[in-house]
Amino acid sequence: MDKPTSSLPWYRWLSSDHMIQALETVQDFIVIGLCVGLFSFMVMQLREMVLSLLPPLDIPLVTSDILFLLILVELFRLLIIYLKEHRVSIGVAVEVSIVSVLREIIVRGVLEIPWIQVMATCVFLLALGALLIIRVWLPPTFEGIDPENFVSERYRSRRAADEQMAAPVVETTLRN
């Protein structure tokens, strides 16, 4: 007996809308778990920061804790943006990177870091600053632009054109 015509081959089933939505839902649950874990870690870090404010006051430790907490807040913001828009914000990711690099420089001290590492850090910070400036001209989302759909459509049109070109060759071969 023949299979029903409504069943899809396994390779088409993997790319169906239902499968994609299910995978996106699983991914959302993973990101929600990361948000909960990051938030609880932020609460623990805030507690540690409050305890480090008690005498004797260690200024480098307090500064390090505050900057680390700011990094965690930015990472949390990045996860929230991902949950809302299903994209990673370039601006927030670059800001997190800049604050992380500056935190390491402040905690370790510029004078204690080898000069070659300071130069590499400066070049890295300049590149991140350039990314912040360039992202202003980039569209915030790809609304109306779906590069994968564009490539798929081009492939389908080429394949259809090839099939149309092959059809007359098959007809003339069969006539002979």
* Mean pLDDT per 10-residue segment, the chain (176 residues): 57 73 90 95 91 83 86 91 84 88 85 90 93 76 51 71 67 58
Rounded CA gap, 156 and 149, in Å? 10
> Model's pTM, two decimal places?
0.63
What span, in angstroms and rounded, lies between the C-alpha atoms of 113 and 121? 10
- Please tell me whether the peptide bond between 56 and the residue prior to it is cis, using omega within 30 degrees of 0: yes
Which tokens sit at 5?
Answer: 């015509």
Q: What is the rounded distance in angstroms from the CA atom of residue 149 to the CA atom of residue 155?
A: 10
- What span, in angstroms and rounded, lies between the C-alpha atoms of 35 and 32? 5
Can you tell me the distance from the alpha carbon of 153 to that of 21, in angstroms, rounded to the nearest whole number? 22
pLDDT for residue 52: 83
Q: Cα(102)–Cα(129) distance, rounded to whole angstroms?
A: 13
pLDDT for residue 147: 47
- Note the Cα 5 to chain centre separation in Å: 39
Per-residue pLDDT, 156: 75
- Report the alpha-carbon distance of residue 170 to residue 43 in Å, rounded: 71
The secondary structure of 93-123, three-state, reads: HHHHHHHHHHHHHHHHCHHHCCHHHHHHHHH
Are 106 and 125 a contacting pair, CB within 8 Å?
no
